[in-house]
């Protein structure tokens, strides 16, 4: 559910909105190992603007066609605020769906691609690479399907690495240690020279839509092969340990690194009470 | 997609909203002959109000449980306007789904229950029977499933009898004649003695969520039997004829009766241009 003024600014590029509204749903399917099949779109608009609708549809359908997703229903209505709700459905063979709950002690923790760029774009919208990651995220559809039978648990990084990994820990009843230096990050951070911002974006920034998953240590070779085959970097960033759900992030010297937790959708509200 | 200020007033009864948000989706499934199975709920709220959420959930889940519908996903976020989007999924045996496109010349036109009460409640909110129909519509789930293999085309009456019947005519490429006197209507109209308002509500009022369908004339006995079995009035109100999509409503003397067309969701916008 994308709401004007909360998830995007009034005047946001409608083509990017159409792309992202579907992309974040395909990312959720990928995180379960599902092949996307169908989508429904409910949209409220203050007025019918042909140019806006054409651009929005262009972004939506270009991505839908790329993955063979059919728009099979939805709703349109009028509202003061643009609100976009996409529901996507996919298929996965029985018994092979990936969940948050499957992580086991001894598992490696892996993440695809690189993290932090989308959050960086909120601070530095002039960095084009970062802005593209924020506005035109690429769902890891092929990777998700290939992780069937390979990963023990998976989630997509929408709320930030720390926050989303905690979802896996809570559902799986395990603990985790992540080595900060191993977490792959956008190249833009190197030029920027702002280690505090970098850490915040890489560990706690949302909207990257990479896949974060765990797999048995004896699958390292399989995953390195898959990475080469897909041309998709897969980084091993830590490991699952027994114990109460707790995430420790360590610096290069093995010292605990403080980090900001994941995003709480109603956090501002709670704080305002 | 139900938007505060457009589909319901600020301060609307949250229990009724929870019921209606799901009911209108189950009604769409019923109109296709599908058995409801799963629902997703996306909701935006200006703030977390426990009492509001409890009442909304009460209305939603009471109806969901009645039909064995599982809530399998969704989203929550914050917005200035309450916006509710329910996506419902159901199952129907292959080849037996009902569509708008199947009406054939010679078919009878049937409608379940009675029409006009929901629209009447907009003008006379003090009439309790009518208000209940508007705020707590009953999806015709059992009827929809039983119409498989019996009806040729079906739709639910959400935009008004005239507007929804036109959808069938356009998709089926046929014409229709409806006898106004045969259209079943809420008992409240008798006491009211306002024939103009009655006609407007019965022919053009939306939100009734009855099923409107066509069936071959040789199925009259089956449908009368089904009506008795379900305890659900089914009225034969007209017939499908060959020709360009056109709806003629006739009065008791067989004269054409003028009526207002169906509801156009963006009509006000077009008019404002």
pLDDT, tens only, A40-56:
999 999 988 899 999 99
pLDDT at B208: 96
Which DSSP symbol is given to B206? -
Beta carbons of B83 and A78 less than 8 Å apart: no
- Ramachandran area for residue A272 (φ above 0: left; ψ -120 to 50: alpha; else beta): alpha
Q: Which residue of B has its CA nearest to A272?
A: B47
Ordered by where they begin, the domains of chain A are 2-91 (3.30.1330.10), 100-261 (3.90.650.10)
Q: Give the integer Cα–Cα distance in Å for A203 and A246.
A: 15
CA nearest A204: which of A129, A140, A267, A138? A267
Q: Give the integer Cα–Cα distance in Å for A78 and A245.
A: 44
Q: Which residue of B has its CA nearest to A81?
A: B81
Q: What confidence tier does B262 reach under pLDDT thresholds 50, 70, 90?
A: low
Would you call A261 exposed, middle or buried from its count of C-beta atoms within 10 A (0-12, 13-18, 19+)? middle
pLDDT in tens, B103-118: 999 999 999 999 999 9
Contacts of A80 in chain B (CB under 8 A): 5, 81
Q: Give the integer Cα–Cα distance in Å for B179 and B156.
A: 19
Beta carbons of B269 and A78 less than 8 Å apart: yes
pLDDT at A34: 98
Strand A83-91, strand A35-45: pairing: antiparallel
Distance from the Cα of A89 to chain B's closest Cα (Å) equals 11
Q: Give the integer Cα–Cα distance in Å for A111 and A122.
A: 22
Distance from the Cα of A248 to chain B's closest Cα (Å) equals 29
Distance from the Cα of A75 to chain B's closest Cα (Å) equals 6
Q: Write down the mean pLDDT value for chain B.
A: 93
pLDDT at A49: 87
Reduced to 3 states, what is the DSSP secondary structure of residue B52?
helix
The residue ranges of DSSP E strands in A92-163, in sequence order, are: 108-112, 153-156
* Cross-strand partners of B215: B108
Instruction: Tell me, yes or no, if A51 comes closer than 8 A to chain B by beta carbon.
Output: no
Span A66-82, mean pLDDT?
Answer: 94
Beta carbons of A77 and B5 less than 8 Å apart: no
pLDDT in tens, B58-116: 999 999 999 999 999 999 999 889 999 999 999 999 999 999 999 999 999 999 999 99
ipTM score above 0.90: no
Q: Give the integer Cα–Cα distance in Å for B220 and B199.
A: 26
Beta carbons of B78 and A265 less than 8 Å apart: yes
Beta carbons of A265 and B87 less than 8 Å apart: no
B270 or A216: which carries more pLDDT confidence? Answer: A216
* Cross-strand partners of B35: B91
pLDDT in tens, B117-152: 999 999 999 999 999 999 999 999 999 999 999 999
Enter the tokens of residue B224.
Answer: 């009368």
Q: How many CB atoms lie within 10 A of CB A93?
A: 11
Torsion of CA B77, B78, B82, B84, to 10 degrees: -10
pTM value? 0.86
Instruction: Tell me, yes or no, if B97 comes closer than 8 A to chain A by beta carbon.
Output: no
Contacts of B265 in chain A (CB under 8 A): 76-78
Which of A27-36, A47-56, A92-101 is predicted with the least confidence, judged by mean pLDDT? Answer: A47-56
- % of chain A beyond a pLDDT of 90: 90
Contacts of A269 in chain B (CB under 8 A): 47-48, 78
- Dihedral of alpha carbons A61, A65, A66, A70, sign: positive
- Helices B50-66, B14-30: axis angle to 10 degrees equals 30
pLDDT surpasses 70 at B225 = yes
**Which of A53, A75, A273 to substitute to test the interface with B, most B CBs within 10 Å?**
A75
* Cross-strand partners of B234: B112
Reduced to 3 states, what is the DSSP secondary structure of residue B97?
coil
Instruction: Tell me, yes or no, if A85 comes closer than 8 A to chain B by beta carbon.
Output: yes
Instruction: Tell me, yes or no, if A221 comes closer than 8 A to chain B by beta carbon.
Output: no
Long-range contact pairs involving B125-134 (C-beta distance under 8 Å, separation at least 24): B127/B188, B129/B186, B129/B187, B129/B188, B130/B186, B130/B188, B133/B186, B133/B207, B133/B208, B134/B207
pLDDT surpasses 50 at B183 = yes
pLDDT in tens, A217-270: 999 999 999 999 999 999 999 999 999 999 999 999 999 999 987 554 444 333
Contacts of A258 (CB under 8 A, 6+ apart): none
Q: Count the residues in chain B.
A: 273
The residue ranges of DSSP E strands in A136-198, in sequence order, are: 153-156, 175-179
**Which of B77, B80, B84, B271 to substitute to test the interface with A, most A CBs within 10 Å?**
B77
Contacts of B76 in chain A (CB under 8 A): 1, 265-266
Beta carbons of B269 and A75 less than 8 Å apart: no
CB A259 within 8 A of CB A203: yes
Question: In the block, which residue shows the tokens 């643009």?
Answer: A82
pLDDT at B3: 93
């Amino acid at each position: 559910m994308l709401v004007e003024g909360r998830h995007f600014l009034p005047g946001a590029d409608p083509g990017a909105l159409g792309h992202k509204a579907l992309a974040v749903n395909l990312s959720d399917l990928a995180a379960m190992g599902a092949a996307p099949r169908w989508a429904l779109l409910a949209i409220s608009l203050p007025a019918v603007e042909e140019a806006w609708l054409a651009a929005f549809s262009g972004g939506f359908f270009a991505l839908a066609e790329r993955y063979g997703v059919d728009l099979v229903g939805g709703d349109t209505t009028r509202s003061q605020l643009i609100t976009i709700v996409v529901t996507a459905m996919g298929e996965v063979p029985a018994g092979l769906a990936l969940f948050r709950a499957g992580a086991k002690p001894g598992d490696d923790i892996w993440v695809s691609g690189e993290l932090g760029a989308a959050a960086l774009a909120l601070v530095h919208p002039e960095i084009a690479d970062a802005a593209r990651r924020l506005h035109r995220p690429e769902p890891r559809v092929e990777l998700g399907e290939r992780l069937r039978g390979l990963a023990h648990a998976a989630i997509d990084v929408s709320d930030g690495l720390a926050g989303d990994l905690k979802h896996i820990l809570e559902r799986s009843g395990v603990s985790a240690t992540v080595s900060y230096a191993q977490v792959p990050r956008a190249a833009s951070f190197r030029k920027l020279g702002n280690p505090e911002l970098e850490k915040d974006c890489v560990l706690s920034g949302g909207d990257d839509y990479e896949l974060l998953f765990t797999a048995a240590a004896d699958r390292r070779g399989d995953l390195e092969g898959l990475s080469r085959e897909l041309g998709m970097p897969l980084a091993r960033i830590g490991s699952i340990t027994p114990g109460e759900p707790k995430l420790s992030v360590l610096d290069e010297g093995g010292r605990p690194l403080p980090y900001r937790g994941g995003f709480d959708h109603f956090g501002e509200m709670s704080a305002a009470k």
